[in-house]
Amino acid sequence: RPPSEAAGDLAALAELDEAALLGGLRERFLRQQVYTDVGDILIAMNPFQPLPLYGREVSEQYRHQETGTLPPHIFAVASRAYHAMLGHRGGGPQSQCIVI
């Protein structure tokens, strides 16, 4: 597997075009990995089935995670935004915006 797939960040692909993006998303979807990063953008795909993605255990894992150490997830986006808003990432507090 290319490193980008392991981390779930398609921006790390040597060539990022429409075919590579759709192929990467398809592969991840087939592995029931419904969240995929493309740089700072999180793509969420509807799995059309219940998956164990939102329990308390999962939430706790993402609460203080280092970027790239866990698979992409909406909890990671929320944690990064929250800590940046409070200035915990260095550089002082920063305003945050999340588009859904």
Q: Whole-model pTM?
A: 0.80
Cβ within 8 Å of residue 51, ≥6 positions away? 32, 34
Q: What share of the chain is helix, strand, coil (3-state, %, to 5)?
A: 40, 10, 50
Q: pLDDT tens across 21-41, in order?
A: 999 999 999 999 999 999 989
Q: pLDDT tens across 44-90, in order?
A: 999 999 999 999 999 999 987 776 789 999 999 998 899 889 998 77
The amino acid occupying position 85 is M
pLDDT value for 75: 94
Its sign, for the CA torsion 80, 60, 54, 11, is positive
